[in-house]
Structure formats: structure tokens, C-alpha cells
Amino acid sequence: MLIKRPADIRSSEITDKKLYLNRREFIRAAGVTGVAAAAGAIGAEALVEAKGAAHGRKLANIKKSPLSVSNEKINSWEDITSYNNYYEFGTDKDGPEQYARDFKTQPWKVSIEGECAKKGVMDLEDVLKGETLEERVYRHRCVEAWSMVIPWAGFPLSNLIKRCEPTSKAKYIEFTTAYDQRQMIGVRVPVLNWPYKEGLRMDEAMHPLTILVAGLYDEVLPNQDGAPLRLAVPWKYGFKHIKSIVKVKFVEKQPLNTWQEQASNEYGFYANVNPSVDHPRWSQATERRIGEFFRRKTLLFNGYGDQVASLYAGMDLRKNY
């Protein structure tokens, strides 16, 4: 994944959310017509839009989550949306902001496949139906040893899984990203074996920290961050956080994820953040938090060990990297 490391990383200060709305301005889900429709509303309860977004389209009624990290500086909207990995839109960090701008995320369909009772193709609106988006402020640690703190707006992946009614054979889930040569300039070049794929073990996928993300701060997720739907698994390296998901497949065997397929000696299936297991070409002991000058120590499981270490009890984390 590391093709190059730009020398000049912009530092920036924490940006407060600039615009908060009067509650009366919120548009209730039941009445998603009028203003919301005119604004190109996505139309699901979870994505009720309100006026007044600072950057894109504003979401309403986002619930705070006790699973957020506290006392850490949240990165600014600008940091989170201008320094991205999304090879479908180029391999430079600033490429996705530029090239994903016009990527069409409406209408959007997600195919549910494999070992489950409720197979089929779902509209994004149905995936989000009945969900309340929660603000989850998560540490985000890329395997390239940079990190950010990001206020995602999402809902537990476990909610969707339960609705799909997996069979007893469903031991893992495989996710697939959209592939569109016309809209994604990056896939015209064979830098990866497209489409991008990722996987989780079922207990990882069901963990309350694992979310499907549809928003950033309190706005609709910008394209460069994986709109309209991406994964966030905060104790794992960033490459597990697959973007623009079009397929969710329940499988019996451990799936092969894109980066593991690309270089299995460098990228494993588990990809749990681990300061004592170096990448063959660089150390994972420290990280550069975007916006900070000094490097900081990387924490085992990215600091989420109390919640997730038990998932890996008895496993050799050096072998299962």
C-alpha cells in the first residue's frame, strides 16, 4: 500500500463543527419531500437531511455514542477529506478528493449473498431503514503509520447482519467495493486486483465497535471517504475499512482480502493494530497523528484492547498479523 510517503503533510488544528441547526430546521424522515427532496435527499430515516451543511449535505438526529473516544483532538474535516487512500481514484493521497468528486452514489444497491436466508439486492435506503446514525469518534490508524481521530456517523454492522439471517455455515463476511471503469480513473490501471475486497470473521463483524458508516461529522459521507457506505473497524489497520460497498457475502472460509492477495508477506487477514509486529519494510511502533508534530506510540489494538482482545485469546498475533 505504501507507494510513496509525501514529505509535506499539512498540519491543521482541530476544527469545530461550524454549523449547528436549530431543531426546528430538521426534516423528519416521515416527511422526506419538499426541501430534502429538492436537495437530493437520500430518503432513508438514517439519512434525514437538514439545511445548513458546511461542506456537503447535513444529517439530522445523530445520536452520540458512549463508544466514542474522548479527550482526543478530533481531526478537521479538511484533514479527513483531503488525505485519503482510495486507489480507485488514484494512488496519491490528494487524488480521491479531486477524482471522486463526481462519483455517483445515488441510486445505490448492495447485494446480499452467500450463507444467509435473506439474499437479494437491497437499495441503500433499505440498508439504512430503521437505523439511527450514531456519532462514533474513532481512532483511525493506517498501516502506513499515520493516524487521525474521526467522527464517523454510522450504525452497528451487526444490525444488518441480523436482518440477513446468516446460516450456521456463515463464519466470515466478505465485502466488495464498486468497480466502474467509467467513473473510477484508478481502476483503469492494474495497481490492485479490482474490485477491492475485504473480510471479517463473524465475531469481529458482530462486535459493537464495528460499524457501517454513512456520514462524517454531521454530514453525508463525502465520496473520497467511501460514500455512500464504508466500514469502520477501529482496532484494525485502515485497509480493512473498505469503501463504497456494493456486496456483502456470508462465507464459510476465510476470504482473501485485496492487500493480502497483493502481498501476503506484508498484509494479513487480521490486520489488528500491533506496535510489536512490524511491517517488513517499516516499524509499527509509532505513528504520526495528522496535525501533530511529534510521533506518538502506537497502542495495541489501537487502544481498543479492553473491548476486543478477548476475540483473539490463544491466537499467536505474530502469525495472525
Burial of residue 293 (number of CB atoms within 10 Å: 0-12, 13-18, 19+): exposed
Q: How far is the CB of 229 from ligand MTE (least distance, A)?
A: 11
239 is a contact residue toward ligand MTE (CB under 6 A): yes
Residue among 133, 131, 127 at smallest CA distance from 111: 127
The three-state secondary structure class of 128 is helix
Distance CA 235, CA 239 (A): 12
Residue among 77, 27, 79 at smallest CA distance from 55: 77
139 is a contact residue toward ligand MTE (CB under 6 A): no
Query: Which residues, numbered 188-217, are part of the site for ligand MTE (CB under 6 A)?
Result: 196
242 is a contact residue toward ligand MTE (CB under 6 A): yes
Binding mask 168-187 for ligand MTE (x = CB under 6 A): ---------x----------
- Binding-site size for ligand MTE (CB under 6 A) equals 17
Q: How far is the CB of 25 from ligand MTE (least distance, A)?
A: 28
Residue 76, Cα to own-chain centre: how many angstroms? 17
User: Which residues are within 8 A (CB) of 245 and not within 5 positions of it... i.e. 6 or more apart?
Assistant: 110, 175, 176, 177, 178, 212, 229, 230, 231
Q: How far is the CB of 100 from ligand MTE (least distance, A)?
A: 10
> Whose Cβ is closer to ligand MTE: residue 262's or residue 320's?
262
- Helix (H) / strand (E) containing 160: helix 157-164
Q: What are phi and psi of 306, to 5 degrees?
A: -60, -35
Nearest residue to ligand MTE, by Cβ distance, number only: 238
Q: Report the residue from 238, 247, 272, 304 that binds ligand MTE according to the rule CB under 6 A.
A: 238
Q: Report the residue from 97, 131, 204, 225 that binds ligand MTE according to the rule CB under 6 A.
A: 225
84 is a contact residue toward ligand MTE (CB under 6 A): yes
88 is a contact residue toward ligand MTE (CB under 6 A): yes
Binding region for ligand MTE (CB under 6 A):
1, 84-88, 140, 142, 177, 196, 225-226, 238-239, 241-243
